[in-house]
Chain A
Amino acid sequence: MVRLLVGVLVALLLASGALAQQVKLRVFIGGQQRPDVMRKILDVYEQRNPGVKVEIEVGGATSDQQQQYLTTVLTSRDPSLDIILIDIIRPAQYKAAGWSEPLDRYLPLGARDALLRQYLPAYVRANIVDGTLIALPAFADAQFLFYRKDLLDKYGFKAPTTWDEAIRQAQTILQGERNPNLNGIGFMGNISEGTVCSFLLPIWAAGGDVTDERGRLVLTEDMARRSLQFWLDLMDRHRVSPPNMAEKAQDTIRREMQQGRWIFGTLFAYAWAHFQNDPDSQVKGKIGVAVMPRFEGGRSASCLGGWQWTISNFSRNKAQAYRLLRYLSSPEVAKVLALEASNLPAFPELYRDPDVLRANPWFADALPVVLNARARPVHPRYPEIADVMRRGLNAVLARTKTPEQAAREIVQGLRTIYGQ
Chain B
Amino acid sequence: MSRGLGRSTANRAMRRSPRDLSERALASWLLLPAFALLGLVAVYPVLNLMVTSLYELHLAYGPKGAFVGLANYERLLEDARFANALRVTLLITLVTVPGAALLGLLLALLANLPYMVKWPVRLGLLLPWAMPLVFAGLIFRWFFESDYGVVNDVLRKLGLAPLFWLSDPRLAFWAISASIIWKTSSFVALVLLAGLQSIPKEYYEAAQVDGANAWQVFYRITLPLLAPSLFVALVFRTITALQTFDIPYAMTGGGPGNATETLAMYIRTQTVENLNFGYGSAMAVALFVLCMATTALYLRFLQREEGE
Q: Are A244 and B59 in contact (CB under 8 A)?
A: no
Q: Name the B residues within 8 Å of A96 (CB-CB).
A: 59-62
A391 to B258, CA, bound (A): 7
Q: Which of B247-299 contact A (CB under 8 A)?
A: 253-259, 269, 272-276
**Contact partner of B168 among A64, A97, A392, A398, CB < 8 A?**
A398
Among B254, B256, B273, the residue within 8 A (CB) of A397 is B256
Give CA–CA (A400, B58) in the complex, Å: 31
Which of A39-47, A66-74, A347-355, A356-364 lies at the interface with chain B? Answer: A66-74
Measured between alpha carbons, how far is A244 from B61 in the docked complex, in Å? 38
- Asked whether, in the complex, the Cβ of A383 is within 8 Å of the Cβ of B147, the reply is no
- For B63, the chain A residues whose CB sits under 8 A away are 97-98
- Would you call B169 an interface residue if the criterion is a C-beta within 8 Å of the partner chain's C-beta atoms? yes
Interface size class of B (residues with CB under 8 A): 20 to 34
Which residue from chain B places its CB closest to the CB of A68 in the assembled complex? B272
Please give the distance in Å from A397's CB to the nearest CB on chain B.
Answer: 7
Q: Decide: B257 and A64 in contact? CB cutoff 8 A.
A: no
- How many A residues have CB within 8 A of the partner chain? 33
Tell me whether A93 and B169 are in contact (CB under 8 A): no
Query: Within A205-264, which residues are at the interface with B (CB < 8 Å)?
Result: 242-244, 246-247
New contact pairs (16) apart from A75-B59, A397-B256, CB-CB < 8 Å: A96-B62, A97-B59, A98-B63, A247-B145, A380-B61, A381-B58, A381-B60, A383-B273, A383-B274, A383-B275, A391-B255, A391-B258, A394-B256, A395-B258, A400-B257, A401-B257
Check B189 for interface membership: any CB of A closer than 8 A.
no
Contact between B167 and A244 (Cβ–Cβ < 8 Å)? Answer: yes
The answer, yes or no, to whether A340 is at the interface (CB within 8 Å) is: no
Q: Could you tell me the distance in whole angstroms from the C-beta of A239 to the nearest C-beta in chain B?
A: 16
The complex places the Cα of A244 from the Cα of B168 at a distance, in Å, of 9
In the complex, A384→B269 CA distance in Å? 9
A residues with a Cβ closer than 8 A to B are 64, 67-68, 71-72, 75, 93, 96-98, 190-192, 242-244, 246-247, 379-381, 383-384, 387, 391-392, 394-395, 397-398, 400-401, 406
A401 to B258, CA, bound (A): 11
Contact of B257 among A97, A242, A394 (CB under 8 A): A394
Q: B58 — nearest CB in chain A belongs to which residue?
A: A381
B146 at the interface (CB under 8 A from A): yes
Residues of A near B166 (CB, < 8 A) are 247
Q: Which of B31-70 contact A (CB under 8 A)?
A: 58-63
Taken together as a complex, chains A and B put the C-alpha atoms of A190 and B141 apart, in Å, by 13
**Contacts of B128-168 to chain A: CB distance below 8 A:** 145-147, 164, 166-168
C-alpha gap A192/B166 in the complex (Å): 15
Sampled A-B contacts (11; CB under 8 Å): A64-B273, A71-B275, A75-B59, A192-B253, A244-B147, A380-B60, A384-B276, A387-B269, A391-B258, A400-B256, A400-B257
Residue numbers in A under 8 Å from B61 (CB-CB): 96, 380
In the bound complex, residues from chain B placing their C-beta under 8 Å from that of A387 are 269, 273-274
| Closest CB pairs A-B (n = 3) | A395-B257, A398-B256, A380-B60
Please give, as numbers and ranges, the residues of chain B lying within 8 Å of A68 by CB-CB distance: 272-273
Are B254 and A191 neighbours in the complex by a CB distance under 8 Å? Answer: yes
A172 to chain B, nearest CB (A): 23
Asked whether, in the complex, the Cβ of A244 is within 8 Å of the Cβ of B164, the reply is yes
Q: How far is the CA of A372 from the CA of B259 in the complex (A)?
A: 37
In the complex, A380 Cα to B147 Cα: how many Å? 38
